[in-house]
Amino acid sequence: MHFIFSAPFRTGINLNSLVSMNANGDVVEQLCSSLVEVKSLLQKGFDWEVPWAKNCENELHYSELSEDLIPLSATPLLRLRMAIDPMRVMMQKKDNFREIQVDSIESCFIEYYDNTVAILFIDANLSFPDGHKSGFQALDRWSTGWCAEVINEASKFDKHLQNVLVNRKNNKKKIFLKPEEFKVFFDQCQNHKRDAPAIDRLLWVTRVFLRGKDDPGMALLEEWTQQVDLTCREKIIGDARIAFCIGNSVVFNEIRGKEYVALTSALAICTYFYVLHDVINRNLKIIFIDLSNENSANNSMAHRINKVRGHIEFIENEFSDVLLGLQGMRSQVATHLLDTWKYADLIKSVQNKKETVGKMLDFSMRQQQGKYARIVEAILAAIGGVAVLDFALNLFAFTNYKQLSEDSIPGLVDAVKYLPPDGVFYAIIALILAILILVIKKREYL
């Protein structure tokens, strides 16, 4: 039974977006030099490559004749091809699921993208010794464990590569950044997910079943995909008939060639951008909680929020460019996947959280500005009060001046002669304190 597994997970590989947009050549050069440095760590059967379009011949993804100007977000920065035999033997030794057996692995590789995202891709043939029903019931949990094991096997290589990429000697132009330096994926910094076990860094597993001669039956597939009528979701992609579902999808016939390439490449692109919005959606939720628990946002938090908000706009612009350029069957597959995954609702959720966090940040900033304004007002009120007190002291001193000339016009000096000095001073001090209290207690209702 033929299956395709796609599993996104988090890494520490991250481009400085503002620099990398005009430094494609430098990115490739640094990647190639870094791969040479870490190649000695690779075991037999493992291999690195930089899968840029100008280095390989393939069907065009985009409407342009040249793919050299494709946004970096549309293609993996590098690919790690896994040794097939060790992957199969590893699962046979560690696997506790007797319902599933790995017969063969067509391909197994990890594509490392920008923005701390990587995607594991496995094309394998499985068999269910205890029957179709028990096999499909155990498949979801089994495939999640298998993908986590493969990611864990590759972790020592990509961690070393991450250290080489951000090394000051090799990274003078700051093309690659650590997540904590980029200040957008702060969940990576707070939770130390890069050093977490693979099962914690794994986000989810997308499974595609390609029906062949060994047909499990429509009723079992509907239970596995959680769809009442699976045939209603069938879409025609070239010669392939595919039912796109959330999590588990079904191809009703064996596909090869351009249909297979269109399915896998569009799945990778859509998964990457979905992961980005999903991660940012979670980050915005964390920011919302932090802002709600804090009395006011500090400069560090404000800078972090502005970086996240700006990066959301950058990602959406990149994704728009990618979708506009996709052609043929890739465009069809991407459209069906995004509709199935409710990508528009995810974007709407991100936008709503971004607006809410923005309003909370603006309100917090206005509160701080109001606080500083009240402090300035209190200082000015104190200065004014001291000036009034000084004026009163000078006036009383002037009225007691012995050589003061007499006149017949009643005025302020004559009135002061009849006022008690201590009482006037106490009244002025009380007035100053009252003004200061009113200024300090002042609140702005927005």
Q: Enumerate the domain spans of the chain.
A: 2-270, 362-440
Q: What are the tokens at 235?
A: 């879409």
Give the per-residue pLDDT at 57: 43
Nearest to 87 by CA among 39, 119, 121, 54: 121
Cα R_g (the chain), whole angstroms:
34
- pLDDT, tens digit only, all 446 positions of the chain: 899 999 999 988 888 876 666 666 677 777 777 777 777 767 777 787 776 544 444 444 554 444 444 566 677 888 888 888 777 766 665 556 678 888 888 889 999 988 889 999 999 989 888 888 888 998 999 999 889 888 888 887 888 888 888 876 666 777 888 877 777 777 776 555 555 666 678 899 999 999 877 778 889 999 999 888 888 888 998 888 999 999 899 998 878 788 898 899 889 999 999 999 998 888 888 888 877 776 666 666 777 777 788 888 888 888 887 887 777 888 899 999 999 999 999 999 988 988 888 887 777 767 677 777 777 777 887 788 788 777 777 777 777 666 666 666 666 666 666 678 777 777 878 877 887 777 766 654 44
Asked if 158 and 13 count as a contact pair (C-beta separation under 8 A), the reply is yes
Asked if 432 and 389 count as a contact pair (C-beta separation under 8 A), the reply is yes
Helix (H), strand (E) counts: the chain: 14, 9
Give the per-residue pLDDT at 59: 44
Q: What are the tokens at 158?
A: 């990509």
Continuous segment of H or E residues that includes residue 81? strand 78-81
Backbone angles phi, psi at 184, to 5 degrees: -100, -45
| Terminal-to-terminal C-alpha distance of the chain | 63
Asked if 108 and 140 count as a contact pair (C-beta separation under 8 A), the reply is no
Name residue 313's amino acid.
E
Alpha carbon distances (Å) from 83 to 96, 106, 217, 225, 316: 22, 11, 33, 30, 36
Residues 120 and 8: their CA atoms lie apart, in Å, by 6
- Strands, E, within 214-343: which ranges? 234-237, 240-243, 248-251
Cα–chain center distance at 299: 21
The neighbour count for residue 271, using CB atoms within 10 Å, is 23
Query: DSSP label at 98?
Result: T
Residues 330 and 347: their CA atoms lie apart, in Å, by 21
Residue 126 burial by Cβ neighbours in a 10 Å radius (0-12, 13-18, 19+): buried
- Strands, E, within 183-225: which ranges? 206-210
Q: What are the tokens at 414?
A: 């004559």
Asked if 237 and 334 count as a contact pair (C-beta separation under 8 A), the reply is no
Query: DSSP label at 404?
Result: P
Name residue 102's amino acid.
V
Residues 6+ apart with CB under 8 A from 240: 251, 252, 253, 255, 259, 263
Give the per-residue pLDDT at 56: 44
Nearest to 428 by CA among 401, 389, 399, 396: 389
Residues 94 and 97: their CA atoms lie apart, in Å, by 9
Q: What share of the chain is helix, strand, coil (3-state, %, to 5)?
A: 60, 15, 30
| Beta bridge partner(s), residue 80 | 48, 110
Give the per-residue pLDDT at 411: 65
Q: pTM of whole model > 0.75? A: yes
Residues 319 and 69: their CA atoms lie apart, in Å, by 14
